[in-house]
Amino acid sequence: MPFDHFGNDIEILERNVNGRRVRVKWDWGAFKNTDGFPVDDNLINWAIGQEQALKECFLCLDEWVHKLKTLEQLKWYESWSNPDKPKPSAKTVISPGPYLLLLGDPGTGKSLIGRALAEKLTQVYRENGIKLSDILCWKNRTLPSQPKISIEKGGEGKKTLQTEQMRELKRKFITKVGIKTLQILLVIMGLFLIGLGFYFMYQAWQTWQENPMFLGEPIQEYYSNNFLDFFIGKFVGLVPATFIPGGSLIFFGFFMWWFSKIGGLSNLKGVGGAQQSDTPKLIVDNSSGHVPFVDATGHRSAQLFGSIAWDPYQTGGLGTPEHQRVSAGDVHMASLGILYIDEIKNLDPEEAVTLLTVLEEGQLPITLRGRWHGGDTAAMAVSTEPAPAITFLVGAGNFDSIGQLHPALMDRIYGYGKVVRMNNDMSNTVENRRKYVQFVAQEVKRFNFLPFSREACFEIVEEGRRRSDKRDALSTRFRPLISIIKTAATLAMNEDCKIVERRHVQEAVENHCKTIQRQILEHDMSERGKLLEIKPKGVRLGQIHGLAVVRDPYSGEMTGSVLNVKAHMIKRSELSRDYTFRGYYKVTGVAKGQTFISDSIAKVRSVILQKYGVDIAQDYLTHIDFAQSYAVDGPSAGVTMTILLCSLIEGKPVRQDVAVTGEINLGVGDSVQITAVGGVYEKIKAAEAWGFKKVVIPQKNYEYSVDANDYKIEVVPAATLDDYLKECLVEKPMMKIPIQTYKRRKL
């Protein structure tokens, strides 16, 4: 490996490390591993190869900051500072936009840019004095089903909540002390009355012993010396005045104590263990000072726009009050920050329209949302005042998102924001190879791995070049490369190495970090190889091997595949029977109703007509079969079918150790051009794995993508159909199959 792949100069690297700006001298010509390479703390500098996308993002940030400065001057928050004040019409204050829609393949850094923008906004807000806001939900004493909303400066919401909680605690304390005092008084009064009753009974006993005169005779004689009659008479007179009221007072005192212990008297539990309380609820907390970044990918209505919890204790007002059951949505928590939605095309139409309202008005009431509606309970009637939702939307998706996104939402993004294309690759320059070293160092720091050697870094660069499918480019789809870095580092750690070496990266690429399609290909080769009609040796008439690719639906990576294609042709005039119909042209094993393969099939017919002056659909009975294949699609099948038919028409067999790919085109004059196709690297590697000796590819692909050092197989460029025929057909013609032989086979 040449020593100057990363250059030989000394570069001054400026980075933000642990909150400080540092300058590090890095000798690109002498560095041996990534140990000591400074990694920037700012995520915005982690986005590699997306310079144009970042420029568009920064323009949107500038517009966003200007919008917030204007809102600060208008003191938009004053109408929300008091929960009892009426809320303004948002359209008169808050202007829509800006928004971002990032489109690109998976792994190109869309979510990284979203997080980096939130981090950048934190710095910009501090420089421009822009304050974040907390949102509180208050009880509406007049109409409890319409809780009130207020906002405070970031961090002040907790203070307001603590103040209100102290008031609530004081009120509860006073109430509790009053109840305790009442309980004690009731018990004391009850005990006093019962004691008084016993005292009166004692007095009755004393009176009996003294035997005073009663109605002119001694009391004992009056009651015939029956003390029980005397005592019962006294007791019956005392019970209503002492024992009954005293016992009642004691009973009520203990009942109040017992009821308070089991959760009564303002202590009934409701949703999430919350208790009855008139204090506000802090539904959005920005006390950290960091601009909120909310990843709402895959969230449904209740998560996106907020909801009202259903409380089974709510009947009769025994559970949690309405304002305590309010939960803010992503759009509220992302207010004045970033709302990131990946695969934004998957939003339901109802959700897209609601999001459109948020983007236009900058506010949204919180009410019960979702398909199940909480069981259709009284929670459906609860709806708060409009809560601020001034969000910077960053949507992301693949390129097909444009056609699948709700038209009204897409129109607003085009009108008030920007649609940005993410790069799949960048130029293979010294500067960008150095960025790959930066990328490796970032992942090493993030996962706390061993440093990578210089040679290991270059192997990662080479893998990035191969994955770009271009000779002079590097892939910016970094997520698959992260898997390779992690696997290589793990292999090195298992061997107790000090650094990750090149062989670890090569082992990770070749043996461990394979797509499922590549694993299926290897399975076909090892397990089904004897069953597949792929034998790369000898020559045969009417059979050729073409190359295709399969794309992983999740990672987007491609894996090559070899197709066995067979054909049969016979002139209609050579048939013994007198057929009244014309010939036919059938292709089986291909995808039905697909435009790519349909166009290729049509072009093959026209090219043969142009080259030989025969119509394979009228003058011949022609059948092409992609053997042991199903749903083959794509333009690269065109040259495979054309060479196969040329072989039959000229009677020249096809070399079976040669595989081909390329798109056939209508010729101009005597030349039929073969144009470039995609996935060339994966196709060549598949042919190499099957043991083919040669691969013929379009010349443009060879000039643009191929580095011969990447392959052990011979790769031959070809520009025209004649160039392909020279490489594939054996020049010595074979004797055509006589019609009698055809008859015997048919019989």
89 is catalytic: no
DSSP state of 301: H
Other Cβ atoms less than 10 A from the Cβ of 114: the count is 25
Please state, in angstroms and rounded to a whole number, the distance separating the CA atoms of residues 695 and 710: 13
Please state, in angstroms and rounded to a whole number, the distance separating the CA atoms of residues 67 and 80: 18
The secondary structure of 131-198, three-state, reads: CCEEEEEECCCCCCCCCEEEEEECCHHHHHHHHHHHHHHHHHHHHHHHHHHHHHHHHHHHHHHHHHHH
In DSSP notation, 392-445 reads: EEEEEE-TTHHHHS-HHHHHHHHHHSEEEEPPSEEE--HHHHHHHHHHHHHHHH
Annotated catalytic residue within 636, 652, 685, 705: 636
Cβ-proximal residues to 731 (8 Å cutoff; 6+ apart), any chain: 652
Please state, in angstroms and rounded to a whole number, the distance separating the CA atoms of residues 622 and 570: 7
E runs forming strands in 285-424: 293-295, 307-308, 326-327, 338-341, 363-364, 387-388, 392-397, 418-421
User: Do 346 and 353 contact (CB within 8 A), yes or no?
Assistant: no
Q: What residues are paired with 21 via a beta bridge?
A: 16
122: Cα separation from own chain's centroid: 23
* Consecutive H or E run containing 625: strand 620-627
Q: Starting at the earlier edge strand, list the strands of the sheet with 100-103.
A: 293-295, 338-341, 392-397, 100-103, 418-421
Tokens encoding 19: 């909150």
Tokens encoding 742: 């055809």
User: Do 312 and 359 contact (CB within 8 A), yes or no?
Assistant: no
* Consecutive H or E run containing 101: strand 100-103
DSSP state of 720: B
DSSP state of 590: B
Please state, in angstroms and rounded to a whole number, the distance separating the CA atoms of residues 105 and 300: 24
Q: How many CA atoms lie within 13 A of 262 on its CB side?
A: 5
DSSP state of 498: S
383-399 per-residue burial string, b: 16 or more CB within 10 A, e: under 16:
bbbbbbbbbbbbbbbbe
712: Cα separation from own chain's centroid: 39
> What is residue 742's three-state secondary structure?
helix
683 is catalytic: yes
Please state, in angstroms and rounded to a whole number, the distance separating the CA atoms of residues 313 and 310: 9
Using omega within 30 degrees of 0 as the cis cutoff, is the peptide bond preceding 212 cis? no
The secondary structure of 338-359, three-state, reads: EEEECCHHHCCHHHHHHHHHHH
Sign of CA dihedral 20, 60, 71, 151: negative
User: Do 153 and 134 contact (CB within 8 A), yes or no?
Assistant: yes
Q: Are strands 217-218 and 213-214 parallel, antiparallel or unpaired?
A: antiparallel
For the chain, the maximum distance between any two Cα atoms, rounded to a whole number of angstroms, is 160
Tokens encoding 644: 């196969």
Q: How far apart are the first and last CA of the chain?
A: 64
Annotated catalytic residue within 110, 683, 685, 705: 683
User: Catalytic site residues?
Assistant: 636, 683
